[in-house]
A and B are shown apart, each in its own frame.
Chain A
Amino acid sequence: MAKQILSFTVNDEPVDVLVQPYLTLLDALREDLGLTGPKEGCGTGDCGACTVHLDGQPVASCLVLALQARGRSVRTIEGLAGAAELHPLQDAFVRHGVPQCGFCIPGVLMAAAAVLAETPTPTEEEIRYGIAGNLCRCTGYTKMIAAITEVAAQGAKR
């Protein structure tokens, strides 16, 4: 059970890392690359706390083997915004006071960013459908939807 080299792109940077074949992408991001934004909530794809983008699409990184990401592009919450400023969704989440305990927020933001990338002016139903795979144990969904709706409206104006 030798380690294998995983070569992939993480937050726009090429990365080579030695990983155990039985570890998940979430394990590799957190343990080997120090990207602790994605969280392990359930480990079975039900809670969405581990959501990252794989080739631009939101996935549950707890259900992807690390080596399945070889040659592919991964974006985590750490790479959602540029270096200097917050992503509009992050900014709106702060202003709306969305985070309570905060554990689900990185996953929710990645899911929300995917919704807006695919549907720039989503309906509330489309927003709810897009974040249906993200559980918030503080039940703070109302503010999330308000914040995402606001960002979508700003995007529509631009």
Chain B
Amino acid sequence: MRRFDLATPNSLDECLKLLAERGPETKLVAGGTDLLVQMKNGLLKPARVIDLSGIADLRVLAPDDGRGLRVGAAVTARRLELDATVRARYAALGESGALVGSVQVRNLATVGGNICNAAPSADMAPPLVALEAEAVIAGPSGRRRVPVASFFTGVRRTVLGPDELLLEFAVPAPGPRSGGSYLRHTPRRELDIAIVGVASQITLTDGVCAKARIALAAVAPTPVRATAAEQSLEGQRLTPERIEQAAALAVETARPISDQRGSAEYRRHLVRVLTRRTLTTALARASA
């Protein structure tokens, strides 16, 4: 790893001041499970690193006055995996936390890091997109909110400015009769990167699908919503046939590449399978 200076702010204000200085090329570190690997590989060579572990505000995981859930940027994958509220009401997000790396990595890896690294395969992105979460961003001129669906601008690129910091996610409460699910496929069962990830979130009213959200990972430069598939479900009773039809429409949204982990054709196949499975699980959970 190339040598760097480390700043260790103990508050948000202190951190924002450091970012505003526009000093040497700077990277923020939370869990470090992506960043340090990229630095050790020589892909990133920041002259300065700012450690976020001293900022308690970033670790909030709490209800937001009944409106939903606040998920601090430095909440770990392991906390999402184990938190009772997340598991019960935001199941897709909890499932994505449980799938990242090993327990040794999940105790470090953070949801903010997963999103800010902006890998196309980021596991926590599809659940946050399907749950219509917003990213709360702090900067020199105050705070702004960006839907997670618009947060990514390309492979490893986001809307975050160099003087900004991702604070937390505001996740709206899914209504009653809602259910969600996240699944991914990896060549190995553990410790691998998704070749496709799919999150589905549906809400029922009187047995009819009032709202459907489907988000795909690793099939485009950024996570994408399968809007045609969503629209095919809304206003309908969800039968296996309708779900299969939606899964086929989701494939149309995917623009996968072929790489060493899987061919584009295989990825399209997986989009269909995982969309069907996550919708089926989401329906079962919404009906429960």
Contacts and interface: CB of A to CB of B under 8 A. Distances in A.
Interface of A: 1, 4, 20-22, 24, 43-46, 48, 51, 54, 57-60, 62-65, 67-68, 70, 111, 114, 129-130, 132-134
B9 interface: no
Interface in B96-111: 101-105, 107-108
Interface magnitude class on chain B: 20 to 34
B103 A114 contact: yes
B36 interface: yes
B40 interface: yes
Contact of B103 (A22, A63, A68, A130): A130
Interface string B17-60: 00000000000010111001100110000000101011000000
Contacts of A54: 107
A111 to B, nearest CB: 7
A60 B191 contact: no
Contacts of B101: 45, 133
A133 B191 contact: yes
B266 interface: no
Nearest to B7: A21
20 contacts: A20-B3, A21-B4, A21-B49, A44-B41, A45-B101, A51-B104, A57-B78, A58-B104, A59-B108, A62-B36, A63-B36, A64-B108, A65-B6, A65-B51, A67-B51, A68-B51, A130-B103, A132-B102, A132-B103, A133-B104
A49 to B, nearest CB: 10
Contact of B33 (A24, A45, A58, A130): A45
Given A48-B104, A63-B31, A129-B103, 7 more contacts: A45-B33, A58-B107, A62-B36, A64-B108, A133-B104, A133-B105, A133-B190
A139 to B, nearest CB: 15
Contacts of A65: 6, 29, 32, 36, 49, 51
Contact of B190 (A22, A62, A63, A132): A132
Contact of B8 (A48, A63, A67): A67
Query: Closest 5 CB pairs between A and B?
Result: A133-B102, A21-B6, A60-B104, A132-B190, A57-B107
Nearest to A19: B6
Contacts of B3: 1, 20, 22
For B4, B33, B105, the residue with the greatest tally of chain A CB atoms inside 10 Å of its CB is: B105
A111 B104 contact: yes
B40 A43 contact: yes
Contacts of A133: 101-105, 190-191
Nearest to B32: A63
A59 B109 CA distance: 10
B208 interface: no
Contacts of A130: 103
For B41, B104, B190, the residue with the greatest tally of chain A CB atoms inside 10 Å of its CB is: B104
A102 to B, nearest CB: 19
A65 B102 CA distance: 19
Contacts of A59: 104, 107-108
B6 A48 contact: no
Contacts of A129: 103
B8 A45 contact: no
Contacts of B78: 57
Given A45-B104, A58-B103, A132-B190, A63 B6 contact: no
B33 A63 contact: yes
Contact of B32 (A46, A64, A114, A134): A64
Contacts of B104: 45, 48, 51, 58-60, 111, 133
B5 A1 contact: yes
B84 interface: no
A70 B6 CA distance: 13
